[in-house]
Structure 1
Amino acid sequence: MQTSTRTALADPRDRIVLFRREFTVSVVPESAPARVWVDGRYVLNVNGVEVARGPVRNEPRSARYDFVDIGPFLRAGVNTLAIVARHFGQSTSWWVPVPPTYSLGAGSLVFECLVGDEWIVSDASWRSSNGEAWTPVPVPGDVACLPLESFDARAHCRGWTEAGFDDSAWRSAFEITPLHTGADGRRSPPSSPFGALRPPVRVAYPTGSTHVADEIDSITVAGSPDQEDPVRQVLLDQESIPDPTGSVVLRRFDLGRIAAGSVTLEVAGADPGTRVDVAASEHVDAHGRLVTLGQHAGFRYVCRGDDDVFTTFDTIGTRFLNVAVRGADASVSNAQIRLSVTDRHRPRPAGASFECSDDSLNTIHAIGLRTVDLCALDAYVDCPTREQRAWTGDSVVHQMVDFVSNPDWSMPVWHPQLATHVRPDGMLAMAAASDFAADDQMYLPDWSLHWIRSVHNIHLYTGDRELVAELSPIAERALRWFESFLGPDDLLHDVTGWALSDWASVYMNGCSSLTNALWARGLRDFAEMSSWLGNDASARWARARHDAVRAAFEVFWDEGRGVYIDHIVDGEKRREAAQHPGAMAIVAGLVPDDRMARVIEGITDRRRLIRHSYVMDRLTVDGDGQGFVYLMNGFPADPPWDVENQMVEAEPFFQYVVHEAMVAAGRADLVVESCRLWQVFVDAGETTWPECWVGGTRCHGWSSTPTADLVRHVLGITPAAPGYGSVRVAPSLGDLQWARATVPTPHGWITVEAHADGRVLVDSPVPVVGA
């Protein structure tokens, strides 16, 4: 991708370039290690076979290359490397451009591979051509910021990934000489603005299962005016009037459940020029029309008339796919269409397991596994459908699920590192390596505090001192960011930024009990890690701050009702009291021992609990979707529930804190029944966990708390020393007759089987301690 040789902003257009290189192999090696990186994303083919996609998302100044062994794909004789490289031009949900230098920052490719004794590198021996088949489509922006594709197969080069293709009309690839202040003329990394390309997060991202969509129905409509955006085209067409003589055929497809990966379209019997627009959504209304609820994903394909097969460049997560077909009458009505999705998730090798005497809990556990799988792409994402952003705080639940159920710990260790995009003031970006991080228009203070808990999890599960030491200063800066909001009463007041909690209607303006308790938990976790690292000064500071909050936190206690109130505004103790402050106060060590039983009884009294979200309760297929006005204007001064006797329950995400509170209060026996709350989703037919009790997306990793907690709290399997130097086994089965699990550790598998009669069987490679 040639770039300018003068100071200029990177070309903001979405651009695709094809690169190919032929070479001869006399003796096929067993292994041919290759490293590849693109300023954007790529697809690598060897002899016509796709072997890699990437690279993983990251902040561009700390980019990581991919490693792939192409040896198994080589053959004796002429071989062909073929790379489709895409530079998106503007920020997306999972990619941001870097401020360019004189010659880098508008698209570049780095490749090197050792084949036998020969190095094949990205140089002028490669041939390149613009991807003429792709037409840029503006990124929709806002919540949905997923790139779209518009591909005309008639303009695409047949056979370009195979040996023997005539590329004489192509140009030699342009070797970029890094030009910047301090450059030395070398044409290889490291160079500004990217610095050194770092080692990969993992060796490979394997493809998974392929899911074929069933065609539900087909209807001919009058059609709407032509649109540049293929998703908008379908959405308008589906509102068009049915007309047997119309020029557009609408076809509806259903995968049966949500899948996330590369979407493949196969078309047969279509005339050249037939246009196929595809739009995806996890929601449809009663008439089968897509209801986007913020999702904007899909693509356009123009048929060549034969061998019409197209696979999307980027991952799409969806259940439903609606298709609008335009062209000659016969082509429109007779075209055969097949749609499928091939998984693109991080690996989860076999070995870990959970099973208990309650089949409903086994189902709940399994659905949580699948939900996290779908939300573990090249990073932990909030959802694979609407956004695909790597949120800084959401991922603490994904991480806990993987630590207890996935022997591949690369992602639970990697994601907290990815999220270390620090603002100059020390606050973390709310969504890493994304348009939100680049724009920095909003920030989520409490997400930095959930991120600290994910660092603490790395400390406990891996015992990796070097990594924890690297992340610790970032955690300290984030904690110290809050100090400017401290009042003379040693509490945080009027903390700026977006106070999300978990979408539940928790009042957090003024002096917030939840914000103070979250900060106190962060201080406590940080103090523990600092002492472990030998950083005594930071540990003393954190403990002193925690002690001060603990003493001051009493102001939130309502002795008459036995609750911690949500907030204090202008000196007035407001009456709202959600489940969240009491739960977090217990976990943060702010509740006196003699009060613990009363607090846990109060926040788990289901006669008191109600579910309410000003924002998400209205984000449903039948809702008006206007709840987001509360993000800008705040909550009403007078809540619509009985604040004296009712308590807003935590949404699925924050239930991980509620469960930790149960354990800390000595009531781990309550976790089993709490995990059964997810049965409401099962009864509704969900096969992945929705974002909230009501409203939101239908596949949200942060809702998978039971999958982690049935192992961590019901069987009670947790590290008793960092890195599983020893393991704590403290079963609390509730009403279960038995439960068993096998969990991964750095030392091998630990298997625990517990029975209601008190028998506990443990097979462990490390010392075992009890509760």
Structure 2
Amino acid sequence: MNGFWIAPADIADKQNCYFRARRTFRIDAVPNTVILKIAAESVYRLWFNGKLVCFGPARGTRSCNFYDSVDVARYLQPGRNVIAVLVQCMNIPTFIAFPHQPGLWIVLENILATDANWQVLSNDEWQEDVEIYTLQVGFMEHRDLRQEPIGWQICEDDATWEKATILGKTDAMNHKRLLPRPIPMLKQTTHLPQYIPSAGYVTNNPTVDPKEIALSISYQQYTHAHTLKDDCQSQLTTGSDITIEPSPDGQDIAIVFDFADEFIGYAQLELTCQSGVIVDFAHDEELEDGWVKAARHHYRTADRYITRNGQQTLGNTINDRGFRYVMIVLRQLTKPVVLHRMTVNDCRYPFETLGTFTCDNTQLNRIWDVCTNTLSTCTTDTFLDCPWRERSFWVNDLVVENLVSLQAFGDPKINAHCLRLAMCNARDDGWIPGVCPDTGEDNLVLVATNLMLVIMLADYYQYTGDERLVNELLPQMIDVLHLFDAYTNDKGLIVAPDTFWNFLDWSYELNGTSLNGKCTSLLNWLYCYALNTAGKLAAITPPASQASDLSQLASDFAERIDAHFWADDKLCYADWLDDHGNPSEASSQLTHALAILSGSVPEHRKQYCVDALDRNDLLEPELYLHHFVFQAIQQVGQTDPIYQRILKHWGAMVQTGTTTLWEAFVHRQGKEAYDDAGSLCHGFAACPINYFQTGILGISPTKPGFDTFEIQPIPHSLSHASGTIPTPHGLIHMCWQSINKQTLNIQITIPNGTRGYCQKQWYEPGEHRIEYTVSQQTESEVLI
């Protein structure tokens, strides 16, 4: 049974489009299993017989969509059944969807599929010409619940429905591939607010114009009402009812809810009130003077709802929101309103926290917890940059998130999906956009991201042993590397196309520097790193002969980089060449980290590069690409700077009380970065996880898939550390205690299928006690 894509007539070009679809059917008996497949452009909510079943789908790209498969047997009943769906489509390109037109596709196993017999109803409930919530997400939600056809999920409404229109083979929708969802459905948990930081009265200004709601919320005058705040604190944080009386002088009423952590999902307010009350919701990660600021830079993080009479639930209906704080503003209130409950329905990828870390430094323990919490919060149907501002899959962020999520959670499904998704999003010219899906602009091609892809694949392979994915994606990644052949200058160096974004790390932009249009050593060293990494992977894929070609190309480039970027007066590589082809005054630690990691730096420059990794006169990276700097420092065996910087930057950050990692902390901090719009929950800042596991605990795979691993802990000033390391074979349990500065007692449990190497000795599966000499280094040649 094949389903058709369906929609109401004449909505193909409608922006911010909502529609409903439903179908009644009868069955004699309910089978044990009934699989429903469902896809939508772009998001849906599904009900059976009035009960909410699920929502989705996983985001796609410009060329593919995904369908969800759900067993719905427990929602069915003998006799009459009703399937009902709400669909929403921004119908503009965003960083979450690249829609061709709104549509719905369903196949209910052996029972029915979407066709012309379905009923559909165009929207009257959501205002369509509204403000952009953020450019990356799309429109705000402006919903009038008085227009909802009550009982529509069970066919009890009296609204006028029409027959569905089948989208034909020539419609754009049918030119996208439709693929099965390769990752689990999201995990849902419900949370009450923990605090009511503020409650009070607002200058009465309901702002009829739906394109000024966020500005109105942000710049109205608020007066604190401490009695109201205390009453809300005692009732709403426990899920108890509270009656809110209208203010005597007709002022609006604002209440701020603090959920004490960052969440991604749905803010839901259950209340009973009169018809026509306006309730504005504003979302953010921090407060200003006790209130939520919904207008930051060009972001407008607010939604509006208009109530019907009676009990109802308000809040974002179908598109998720990210926040720690939610502020509601009750407007046009003339009668008491009863607030029953405010909750967040958090929806994220169902990671199981398999990786653990603890030691005698409570600050390091806190950093680990904040890192893993951030990663979890930043993962839904893809890895996200942040929940609050964009909820976008920036592919470059994956260079950190891919590795550390495997170390923290050991679930490779989302990693493989994201790598495939990125490659599936290739442009017609072969370049991989920096965000997936992208909106088509050249400046969304991040040149460095195209080089990082093969590094991500190598990390994935080392931790999973998934050779199939390497065989699948490596040829395309090598083709991407060859695209750079067309962008060499007269010196034989790579120069990024002017129309692309030559972004590596925010340390440049936050210090007033753009690398666009520049010939940089960073990009060229990263190119060498990518070539050598691709060469190593190519050795396991046919034809293996290309491995030596790639390595030779890297060697040739390294010679040219050294010839043109080395600055004798500074004893380091310049970051770029000026207009006359001379080395710039500017240089960075990141340049030298990439040189070391490339494996192609000339022998006579190596010590200078090692020294440069911790030189204070060179630009330090932001939190993000400390990832590469830490890896380079660890590779050369001088790890104390990693330990000290983790305490300096990440340690100072967690001392603020934050539960999640910030987007910036080295050069700017928190919201002050990025024009007052810095994210306070950013997964790409989680690189300390890698050092905690491979450095302090000292466990690193030495063959793909943890077929073998090394045991080489680095204690620093700690007296003990322990943790679990997820592998494809099960958990490695590692614990060490310091006897003196040079000796550790190690207890380790090795799962079946792998074995560990420590101090020239192999350890088979089982429990082991090892007396470890800290100064003794693992002989790498034994492990190759």
Fold shared, TM-score > 0.5 on shorter chain: yes
Identify the range of structure 1 (58-67 vs 484-493) with the bigger mean alpha-carbon deviation. Answer: 484-493
Could you tell me which residue of structure 2 aligns to residue 490 of structure 1?
A: 492
When residues 577 and 227 of structure 1 are mapped into structure 2, their CA distance, relative to the original with a 3 A threshold, is same
Aligned counterpart, 1:319? 324
Corresponding position of 1:471: 473
Change over 3 Å in CA distance of 1:230–1:754 after alignment to 2: farther
Distance 2:163 2:174 in 1: 24
1:516 aligns with 2:524: yes
Residues 1:541 and 2:549 aligned together: yes
- SS of 1:330's equivalent in the other structure is coil
Cα distance in 2 for partners of 1:451, 1:173 equals 43
- Find the counterpart in structure 1 of residue 773 from structure 2: none
Alpha-carbon distance in 1 for matches of 2:736, 2:298: 45
- 1:763 and 2:750 matched: yes
Q: Deviations over 1:399-444 (max 9, x none)?
A: 1122112133211111111112222333211101143xx3444421
Which whole-Å deviations, capped at 9, do the CAs of 1:742-764 have from their partners, x for residues lacking one? 22222222222234323332413
**1: CA distance between counterparts of 2:603 and 2:362?**
36
Matched residue, 2:633: 662
- With over 3 angstroms needed to count, the CA separation of the structure-2 counterparts of 1:425 and 1:139, relative to structure 1, is farther
Q: 2:750 is aligned with what amino acid?
A: D
Pick aligned residue for 1:301 from 288, 301, 305: 305
Which of these residues, 90, 102, 107, is aligned with residue 112 of structure 1?
A: 107
Provide the rounded CA distance (Å) in 2 between the counterparts of 1:303 and 1:180: 38
- Pair 442,142 (structure 1): closer, same or farther in 2 beyond 3 Å: farther
Task: Please list, as runs of the form range in 1=range in 2, the aligned pairs for 1:383-532 lying within 5 A after superposition.
Answer: 383-420=386-423, 421-435=425-439, 438-493=440-495, 495-496=497-498, 497-505=500-508, 508=515, 510-532=518-540
Offset of residue 168 of structure 1 = 8.0
Q: CA deviation at 1:337?
A: 7.0
User: Alpha carbon RMSD of aligned pairs, Å?
Assistant: 2.8
Structure 2 distance, partners of 1:236, 1:358, is 41
> Are residue 600 (structure 1) and residue 588 (structure 2) matched?
no
Work out whether residues 399 and 455 of structure 2, in 8 Å CA contact, stay in contact via their aligned partners in 1.
yes
Matches within 5 A, 1:143-158: 143-158=135-150
Kindly indicate whether the alpha-carbon contact (under 8 Å) linking 1:298 and 1:316 is maintained by their aligned counterparts in 2: no
| Aligned partner of residue 679 in structure 1, secondary structure | helix
CA contact (8 A) 1:530 1:536 kept: yes
Change (3 A) 1:434 1:753: same
The Cα shift of 1:320 comes to 2.3
Out of 580, 591, 594, which is 1:581 matched to? 591
1:166–1:236 distance in 2 versus 1, CA, 3 Å:
closer
> Number of paired residues?
704
In structure 2, C-alpha distance between the alignment counterparts of 1:378 and 1:277, rounded to whole Å: 28
Aligned residue identity for 2:111: W
Distance in 2 (alpha carbons) for counterparts of 1:350 and 1:571: 51
* Cα separation, partners in 2 of 1:201 and 1:238, compared to 1, 3 Å: farther
User: What secondary structure does 1:394 align onto?
Assistant: helix
Q: Which residue of 1 is the match for residue 663 of structure 2?
A: 691
1:667-710 deviation digits (Å, cap 9, x = unpaired): 24543333223011112221111101122211111011112331
CA distance in 2: counterparts of 1:697 and 1:253, whole angstroms: 19
Q: How many angstroms does 1:563 deviate by?
A: 2.8
Question: In 1, Cα distance between the equivalents of 2:166 and 2:91?
Answer: 20
Q: Is the 8 A contact 1:15 1:88 kept in 2?
A: yes
Q: Please tell me whether residue 712 in structure 1 is matched to residue 694 in structure 2.
A: yes
Deviation digits for residues 6-39 of structure 1, max 9, x if unmatched? xx99414222111223334544433222211012
Q: Please give the per-residue CA displacement for 1:352-385, whole angstroms capped at 9, x wherever unaligned.
A: 3222222211110110111111111211111111
TM-superposed deviation, 1:648: 1.7
Q: Is the 8 A contact 2:660 2:680 kept in 1?
A: yes
Among 196, 212, 230, the residue aligned to 2:193: 212
Match of 2:89 among 69, 74, 87: 87
Aligned pair in 2 of structure 1 residues 281, 72: CA closer, same or farther (>3 Å)? same
User: For the Cα contact (< 8 Å) 2:613–2:633, is it kept in 1?
Assistant: no
CA distance 1:180–1:83, change in 2 (3 Å): closer
Whole-Å separation in 2 of the counterparts to 1:665 and 1:266: 58
Shift of 1:600: 2.8
What is the CA deviation profile of residues 565-621 of structure 1, one whole-angstrom value per residue up to 9, with x for unaligned ones?
Answer: 21221222222221111111111113345654443333224xx2xxxxxxxxxxxxx
Q: 2:620 aligns with which of 638, 644, 649?
A: 649
Q: How far off its partner does 1:76 sit?
A: 4.4
Structure 1 unaligned segments of length 5 or more: list them.
Answer: 99-105, 182-190, 609-645
The 3 A distance-change label for structure 1 pair 208 and 450 is farther
CA distance in 2: counterparts of 1:468 and 1:750, whole angstroms: 25
TM superposition shift of 1:147: 2.8
Per-residue CA deviation, residues 43-81 of structure 1 (Å, 9 max, x unaligned), is: 112233322211111114222211111123334454332
Aligned equivalents of 2:572, 2:749: Cα separation in 1 = 39
Instruction: Give the aligned residue type for 1:663.
Output: Q
For residue 550 of structure 1, give the secondary structure of its aligned residue in structure 2.
Answer: helix
Judging changes above 3 Å, is the alpha-carbon distance between structure 1 residues 736 and 231 closer, same or farther for their aligned structure 2 residues? farther
Alignment counterpart, residue 715 of structure 2, candidates 709, 714, 733:
733
AA of the residue aligned to 2:119: R
Aligned residue in 1 for 2:179: 198
- The residue that corresponds to 2:572 in the other structure is 563
Contact kept in structure 2, 1:389 and 1:432, CA below 8 Å: yes
1:319, CA displacement in angstroms?
A: 1.9
Structure-2 change in CA distance of 1:600 and 1:238 (3 Å): farther
Contact map agreement 1:672 1:733 (CA 8 A) in 2: no
Structure 1 Cα separation of the partners of residues 608 and 735 of structure 2: 32
Look up the match of 1:671.
642
Q: Deviations over 1:451-486 (max 9, x none)?
A: 222122222222323322221232123222222232
Q: Does 1:131 align with 2:118?
A: no
1:71 to 49, 52, 73: 73
Letter in 2 for 1:274: V
Deviates further, 667-676 or 259-268 = 667-676
- Rounded to whole Å, the distance in 1 between the matches of 2:693 and 2:92 is 42
Are 2:354 and 1:351 aligned? yes
**Structure 2 counterparts to residues 274-289 of structure 1, below 5 A:** 274-286=277-289, 288-289=291-292
Aligned partners of 1:17 and 1:130 also within 8 Å: yes
**Cα distance between partner residues in 2 of 1:754 and 1:495:** 50
Indicate if the aligned counterparts of 1:218 and 1:252 stay in contact, CA closer than 8 A.
no
SS of 1:416's partner is: helix
SS in 1 for 2:299: coil
The change in CA–CA distance for 1:144 and 1:271 in structure 2 (over 3 A counts) is: same
**Cα offsets for 1:60-114 (capped at 9, x unmatched):** 422221111112333445433221111221112201123xxxxxxx222111223
**Contact 1:527 1:538 (C-alpha < 8 Å) held by counterparts:** yes
Does the C-alpha gap of structure 1 residues 488 and 664 become closer, same or farther in structure 2, counting only changes over 3 Å? farther
Q: Percent identity?
A: 23
Residues 195-274 of structure 1: pairs in structure 2 closer than 5 A: 195=177, 197-212=178-193, 214-215=195-196, 216-223=198-205, 225-229=207-211, 231-232=213-214, 234-235=216-217, 238-239=220-221, 245-268=249-272, 270-274=273-277
Q: Which has a greater percent of strand?
A: 2
Structure-2 separation of matches of 1:718 and 1:51? 42
* CA deviation after TM superposition for structure 1 residue 328, in Å: 4.3
Determine if contact 2:199/2:253 at 8 Å carries over to the other structure. no
